[in-house]
Amino acid sequence: MNCEKLITFYIEAIGSRKPIYTLSFENDKTVNELYEQVLYDLECEDDIILYFNNDKLEKSDSKLCDIFNKEEKEVCLGIECKKYTEREILEIFYYATDGPNWRYNENWLTEKPLSEWYGIDVHENSNSKFIVKEISFYMNNLKGEIPKEIGKLINLKRLNLGSNKLSGSIPKEIGKLINLQDITLSINELSGEIPKEIGKLTNLQELHLYNNQLTGEIPKEIGKLTNLKWLYLHNNQLTGEIPKDIGKLTNLKYLYLNKNKLSGEIPKEIGKLINLSCLHLFNNQLTGEIPKEIGKLSNLFSLRLDENQLSEEIPKEVQELTCHKTF
């Protein structure tokens, strides 16, 4: 069929009969491309379903001119947001991470209670429709990308996907999981930047992102995680300066930023981390003087600042620390 013209789509909420959005789109595009354009233009965070003549317009690679009358210039489509059940979200996660080839996948995609699905723990006696409390798949041969839909598991407290073969970026939607206390995505093949949305996870106590291929700067929003005790970002390709906001993490016990490409000076605000036990900044590109404020960290048992380009002069306050020190 000859596809050489535009179709004007009037998009309206189901039952409203009032267009909320108008789109002129080439009719040689596919249905999938139409969905992508509508999602982008409306800045939808949820998936959508489009309807034509009360029938669902299924996503496909079919061209629009093969679906609508070739003389059609204007088409009215209904739209509604897709609301996922928890089982549907987990099914998306299963296929996105190569579930059939996981090391263990007992009871997944069955009708058994979610508490019997391998790696899933739930909130007992909960009245919520979303009961998943923990996803734990350490060393379970997960491959592929973490789907954005994981951000809909609103009562999740622990996410452990460490030591797998996950790739792609960390989805920004993870910032919606405001009940999270522990994120472990270490020892994977993740790339891209650490999403600033992580700063919304104010209940977080542990953040393990080490041994990946993460790039970009450490987001200053990380300073909002005032309950954080473990911050492990080592063995990545992070650049830029250590944000001063890190000094707000006064509950922090372990700060591992070693083996990155961090530059600039060590912020004196690190001296506010009075509960710190380990401070590892070695093997970066840090310059300038060692801040004397580090000498306030009386609970340190390990301090490593070696393999940088720091001044050779070590402040007396730092020298007097009784911990294991390497400069």
The CATH number fitting domain 6-81, selected from 3.10.20.90, 3.40.50.720, 3.40.50.300, 2.130.10.30: 3.10.20.90
Cα(327)–Cα(305) distance, rounded to whole angstroms? 5
Name the one residue in this structure whose structure tokens are 């996907």. 161
Smallest CA-to-CA distance from 88 within 47, 136, 41 is with 47
Sheet strands side by side (includes 324-326): 120-122, 132-136, 158-160, 182-184, 206-208, 230-232, 254-256, 278-280, 302-304, 324-326
Tell me whether strands 158-160 and 182-184 are parallel, antiparallel or unpaired.
parallel
Q: Are 304 and 281 in contact (CB under 8 A)?
A: yes
Mean pLDDT check: name the lowest of 1-15, 167-181, 237-251, 258-272. Answer: 1-15
Q: Which helix (H) or strand (E) holds 32?
A: helix 31-41
Instruction: Domain ranges for the chain, please list them.
Output: 6-81, 86-326
How confident is the model over 18-65, as pLDDT tens digits?
A: 788 899 998 889 999 999 898 888 877 678 889 998 899 999 999 998
Confidence of residue 225 (pLDDT cuts 50, 70, 90): very high
How confident is the model over 91-134, as pLDDT tens digits?
A: 999 999 999 999 999 999 999 999 999 999 999 887 777 899 99
Cα(208)–Cα(145) distance, rounded to whole angstroms? 17
Cα(143)–Cα(140) distance, rounded to whole angstroms? 9
Cα(71)–Cα(5) distance, rounded to whole angstroms? 9
Smallest CA-to-CA distance from 209 within 247, 238, 177 is with 238
CATH number for the domain formed by residue range(s) 86-326: 3.80.10.10
Residue 197 in 3-state DSSP?
A: helix
Name the one residue in this structure whose structure tokens are 């991470």. 97
Q: Which helix (H) or strand (E) holds 87?
A: helix 86-96
Report the predicted TM-score, pTM, of the whole model to 2 decimal places.
0.84
